[in-house]
Amino acid sequence: VTEDGSFVGFAIVDRRSPLAAAILWMAVRADHRHQGPGTRLLDHVLQVLSAEGVEVVEAKTLDGSADYEPFVATRAFWERRGFVQVNAVDSLPGWRPGNPAAIYICALRPTR
């Protein structure tokens, strides 16, 4: 996502199947956070996926049991935008032990 011609954030999306996708990573430059680019980027991603027929989207972040303050806001970001935590896993393959993953899913309304 860009604003005034400069790069402020990105999202990496993996299509898992015709009906399912995962947001593997999403971040906004620290000096642009809490001004809306994350919401605009996520809205765009979900709109594109929905138009392509995707019905469920997964996102993973650090679970609350890790008791690490910076991710309280990250989980709130997903939850306020319709993502529901369905599991906590320690450890996911590829994640270092001691970094419990919060697994979120969001159901999209089909637009086709």
Ligand X SMILES: CC(C)(COP(=O)(O)OP(=O)(O)OC[C@H]1O[C@@H](n2cnc3c(N)ncnc32)[C@H](O)[C@@H]1OP(=O)(O)O)[C@@H](O)C(=O)NCCC(=O)NCCS
Longest Cα pair distance anywhere in the chain, in angstroms?
42
Any contact of residue 27 with ligand X (CB under 6 A)?
A: yes
Any contact of residue 38 with ligand X (CB under 6 A)?
A: yes
Of 2, 15, 36, 68, the residue at the interface with ligand X (CB under 6 A) is 36
Q: To the nearest whole angstrom, how small is the minimum distance from the Cβ of residue 74 to ligand X?
A: 4
| CB 44, CB 57: distance < 8 Å | no
The phi-psi region of residue 34 (left if phi > 0; otherwise alpha if psi is between -120 and 50; otherwise beta) is left
Site for ligand X, rule CB under 6 A: 26-28, 33-39, 61, 74, 76-77, 80
